[in-house]
Amino acid sequence: MPSLTLLGQALVSGVLAGGIYGLLALGLSLSWGLLRLVNLAHFALALLGAYLTYQLGTALHMSPWLAAAAIVPGFFLLGCGLHAVFAYFRVTEFTSLLVTFGLTVILESLLQWFWTADYRRYETPYATASLRVGPLFVPVLEMLACLTAAALALATWAWLRFTYVGKALRASAEDPAMAAAFGVNHRRQAFLLSGVSAAYAGVAGTFIALISTLAPAQIWAWVGVVFAVVIIGGLANPIGALLAGLLIGVSESITMAVVTPAWAPLVSFSVLIVILLVRPGRV
Amino acid sequence: MSGAARRFTIALMVIGLALAALATAGLPAFYESFLYIIFSWIALATSWAILSGYAGYFSFGHGAFFGAGMYTTATLTTRFNVPFLWTLLAAGLIAAALGAGIGAVVFRVKRLRGELFGLLTLAITFVLGTIVLNTRIDGGPGVFLSAVPLPRLLASPTGTIYLLGLALAVTTVGVAYAIGRSRLGFGLFAIHDDEDVAEVEGVPTFRYKLAAFALSAGIAGVAGGIHAMYVGYVTVGETFSITVPLYVVLMSVLGGARHWLGPAVGATLIAASLYAFTGGQQAVLGRAAVALVLVLVILLLPEGVVPAVLRRWRSWRPRTPVMETAPAPEILDGHAREPHVAPRPASLVVSDVTKAFGGIQALRGVSLSVAPGEIVGLVGPNGSGKTTLINLISGHYQTDGGRIELGDVTLSTRPAHEVAGLGVSRTYQIPRPFAHLTALDNVAVAATFGAARRSPGHARAEARRWLEFTGLSRRAAALPSELNLHERKFLELARALAGQPRVILLDEVLSGLNPGEIASAIGLIRQIQARGVAILFVEHLMRAVLALSDRLVVLNEGEVIASGSPHEAMRASRVIEVYLGKSHVA
C-alpha cells in the first residue's frame, strides 16, 4: 500500500490531468451534442495549437499568452471554415467521423512534415514552478490549465443555459425542423458553435505546449480517453465534461500509483464500456 | 446455383488460381510481400463489411479480433510448439468466440448502434490490448516468431505467406458474396435499414447479428494469425492500435461497404497507395494524400466507389436489366418450387393483457378475439392504447400480464420474429419501408422470413405476386423514397401479406389516402378477408370501420369500454360519452 502522501500527490496530479481531459472534451462534446458532428479532428487541432504556440515561442520569442491571443481567434475562424465544408456537403453524424478522421491524418502528416516525429519540448520559466501545499506539490501551469477548464466549462454552461443563442442551439439539437419553425436560425448558430469549439481546441493547445512534450502521434493517445470523458459527462453538458474529466484523471493516476502505470488505460475504457452498456440513453 | 452465382464462382476461382500460379512461377519476393499486404487488407476489410457494411453496425473493434488472432498464433507457436497452420484455425476460433461473446452482451442493448457501437468496440480493443500487455500473453517486450518453422507450401517463405493470404482473401470475398445472396444477407440488409421492423417481419435479428459478428471476427483472427508470421515480431502497440480498425472502415467506405466487392476494391486502392509511399518524409506526404483522397471520396461519393461505378455503367447501358428487375424465379438453393400452401387458419385471442410504460398504464386488462375470416375493428381516441396493443401482439413489446394466443400457441412470451414466423403480420401507421431495398425486396424480406419460409429467390417470385395484388407491379424496382404516400401504404400491405399470415394487424392503413385510394384499399381488405385471414383493423375513419368490421371493440384509456356489432358498440352510452361528452348521452 503506497503512503498517504503518494496517494495525495496522485490525487492532485489526477485532478490536474483531468482538467486537460475536460478542456479537450468540452469542444468535442459541444459539437457532437449540439451539431451531431463527431469531430475527431478536434485532437489534431489542439495539437496544431500546441505546435503553433511552441513555434511562436521558440522562433519569435513570443510569450505563450500572446501566442494564445493570436491562436484562439484564428482557430475560431478555422472552426467556422470547417463547418462551412460540413454544411455544404450535408455531412451526417457518421460521415463526420470518417471525414474528420481523414482531416486528422492530414494534419498529423503536416505536423510531422514541419516539426518531424521527434519529441519537442517548449522550455519556459514557469514550466517547473510549483506551489507547495503541506507535503504536496501543485505545478502552477497545470493548475492554471485546470482552472481555465473549469472557468470555460462554467461559462459555456451559463451561455447554453441563459442566453438566447444557447437555448436556440439546444432547441435545434433536439428538433431542427421545429426550432426552425419557431424562427431559430440554426445555420448561423452552428457556425458560431463550431468556431467556439475550435477556439477551445486552441486554448487546450496552448496549455498542452506548456505542460507536455510534443509529438504528432500524441493525437491518438487522447482519442480513447477523451471520448470516454465526453460520453461519461453527457453530450453537450459542459459541467459534466469537466467532472468526467476529473473522474477519469483521478482514477487513472490512482491506478498508476497503486497498481502500475501500464494498467491505467484499462480504467477509462472500462468505465466507458460499462456506461455504454448500462446507460446507452446518455448519449 | 443461378447463372450469376456460377459465373461469380468461376471468375473468383480463375483469378485465385492465376494469382497462385504467379507465385509458383517465381515472383520476386518484393512483389510477393506487396501483394500479400493487399490480400491481407482485402480479407480484413471484406470481413469487417459482413457485419458492419451489410447490417450497418459500424465496428471500430476489428483490431481486437485481428490482434486476438496474432497473439493466439504467437503464443501457440512459441510457447506450445503447435504447428503454424493449426494455430490459424485456433486464431479464427478464438477471435470468433470473442466476437460472439461481445455480441451476446452488446446486442441485447437496443440503443447501442451507430457511433456508440463503434466507440464501444474501440474501447474493447484498448482494454484487450492493455490486458495482453500486462499479462503473460505478452508482458511488455513483444513476442518473436523468428524461430517458428514455416511449412513449405512454396520454396520461399514469402511465397508461402503469399499463398495463405491469397487463399484467405479469395475465401473471404466468396463468403461475402454468398452471404449477400442468402437468407442471412437478406436479413442483415433489413437490419441495416430498420432493425425493429426487420424483427417484426420475422428476421431473427439477434441471432443474425451474432452470426455475422462471429464470422467477421473469425476471419479477422485468421488474418491476424497469418500476419503474425509475416511480421515475425508481435507487439501490443502495433497490434491493438487504431490503425487496423480505421483502415478497414476507410477501405470499405471508399469501395462501398454494402457491396460484396466494395471493401476489396477499397482495400486494394488504399493498401497499394500506402505501399507506394513507404520510407522517409515522402511517406508522410503520401499518407496525407491518401487521407485527402479519402475525405474527397466520402464527401463526393458517400455510397462508395463500386456502387457509384455500377450505377454509371448501368445508365450507359439502359437495356441491361438491373438485377432486382430480372425475371424472378431464379432458384438459388436447388429445391423444387414450393406449392402455395395456405396456412392453417387460427383465431387470435387476447386475454386480460396489461402494459405500463413507467408510471403510465397503457393497457389495463384488455381482452378481445379475432376469428379466421373475421374483421374486428379496434377504435378509440388517440392515446387509448390501440397501437400499444398491436405492438404487444406483434411481439415488439412484452406484456406485463395476461396472455396472447394464436390457435393453441401462446404468443405473448415469444420474441417478435417468432411471432411473425407463426403467422402474425402488421402494417405501420406511418409506413416504415427498408430504405435501401427496392419495393420488390421490401416485400421479399417478409416473404423470406414470414410464416411461409422461403429462400430469397422464391421469395422474390412470391413478392411479385403481392405487388401485383396491391397494384404496385410497375414500381417493383423503385426505392421507397421514390414512392408516394399511397404507394408506400400499399407497400406496407403487400409486405404484411407476403408472409402468408394467419392474422393481420392493420394500423390506420387508410389515414392520409384520398377517397378513390380508400375505396381500392377497402376492396383489398375484403379480398384478404376472403382468404380466411383474421384481421384486426385499427382506424379512425368511422365510415370505413362501420363498413368493414364484423365486430367492433372500443378502447378508452387502456380499457375495453364496449364491444359487439358495430352499430351496437357505437350506441353504447360509454362510447358516446367518451367521443362526444356526457351531455350527448341520451
**Average pLDDT of chain A?**
87
Q: Is the pLDDT of residue A205 over 60?
A: yes
Interface of B with A in 142-181 (CB under 8 A): none
Q: What is the pLDDT of residue A116?
A: 82
Contact B410, B418 (CB under 8 A): no
Instruction: Answer whether residue B341 shows pLDDT above 60.
Output: no
Per cent of chain A over pLDDT 90 is: 34
C-alpha cell at B472: 404496385
Per-residue pLDDT at B255 exceeds 60: yes
Closest among B223, B210, B211 to B91, alpha carbons compared: B223
Residues of chain B with Cβ-Cβ distance to A265 below 8 Å are 126-127, 129-130
Question: Is B320 a residue whose pLDDT tops 50?
Answer: no
Q: pLDDT at position B381, please?
A: 86
For the purposes of burial, counting CB atoms within 10 Å of the CB of B125, is it exposed (0-12), middle (13-18) or buried (19 or more)? buried
B291 neighbourhood in chain A, CB within 8 Å: 101-106, 109
Confidence of residue B1 (pLDDT cuts 50, 70, 90): low
Please determine, for residue A172, whether its predicted confidence score (pLDDT) is greater than 70.
yes
Residue scoring higher pLDDT (A6 or B242): A6
CB–CB contact B285 A109 (8 Å)? yes
Asked which of B91-100, B212-221, B274-283, B388-397 is least confident by mean pLDDT, the reply is: B274-283
Q: Which of the pair, A196 or B566, is modelled with greater confidence?
A: A196
Q: Which residue of A has its CA nearest to B139?
A: A262
Q: How high is the pLDDT of residue B331?
A: 37
DSSP code of A128?
A: G
How far apart are the C-alpha atoms of B78 and B87, rounded to whole Å? 11
pLDDT computed for residue A212 by the predictor: 86
Backbone angles phi, psi at B502, to 5 degrees: -100, -25
Interface test with chain A among B60, B131, B246, B277, by most A beta carbons within 10 Å: B246
Residues of chain B above pLDDT 90, percent: 38
Rounded Cα–Cα distance for residues A212 and B416 (Å): 54
- Which has more confidence, A272 or B468? B468
- Domains with residue ranges and CATH for chain B: 16-313 (1.10.3470), 348-584 (3.40.50.300)
What ipTM was assigned to the predicted interfaces of this complex? 0.83
Among A14-18, B218-222, B434-438, top mean pLDDT goes to B218-222
- Torsions phi, psi of B248, nearest 5? -65, -40
Of these ranges, A50-64, B5-19, B169-183, B232-246, the one predicted with the greatest mean pLDDT is B169-183
Query: Does B586 have pLDDT greater than 60?
Result: no
Beta bridge partners of B354: B364, B401
Whether the per-residue pLDDT at B335 is higher than 50: the answer is no
Say yes or no to pLDDT of A220 above 90: no
- DSSP assignment of B86-127 equals HHHHHHHHHHHHHHHHHHHHHTTSTT--HHHHHHHHHHHHHH
Q: In chain B, positions 207-266, which contact chain A (CB-CB < 8 Å)?
A: 241-242, 246, 249-250, 253
Find the range with the poorest average confidence among A24-28, B297-301, B451-455, B523-527: B451-455
- DSSP letters, A185-240, are -HHHHHHHHHHHHHHHHHHHHHHHHHHS-B-TTHHHHHHHHHHHHHHHH-TT-HHH
Query: Which residue from A48, A170, A46 is spatially nearest to A113, judged by alpha carbons?
Result: A48
Q: What is the mean pLDDT of residues A222-227?
A: 82
Nearest to A224 by CA among A34, A11, A28: A28
Q: Which residues pair with B144 in a beta bridge?
A: B233
Residues of chain B in contact with residue A260, where contact means CB-CB under 8 angstroms, are 134
Contact between residue A93 and residue B114 where contact means Cβ atoms under 8 Å apart: yes
**pLDDT, tens digit (0-9, with 9 covering 90-100), for B162-191:** 999 999 999 999 999 999 989 999 999 999
Q: What band does A266 get if pLDDT is binned at 50, 70 and 90?
A: confident
Q: Is B347 helix (H, G, I), strand (E, B) or coil?
A: coil
Contact B290 A105 (CB under 8 A): yes
- Residue-range domains of chain A with CATH: 4-282 (1.10.3470)
**Cα-based distances in Å from A137 to A128, A129, A147, B46:** 11, 10, 16, 53
At A73, give phi and psi (nearest 5°). Answer: -65, -35
CA distance A83 to B578: 52
Q: Taking a C-beta distance cutoff of 8 angstroms, is the pair B57, B210 a contact?
A: no
pLDDT, tens digit, 9 for 90 and up, residues B500-539: 899 999 998 888 888 888 888 888 899 888 888 999 999 8
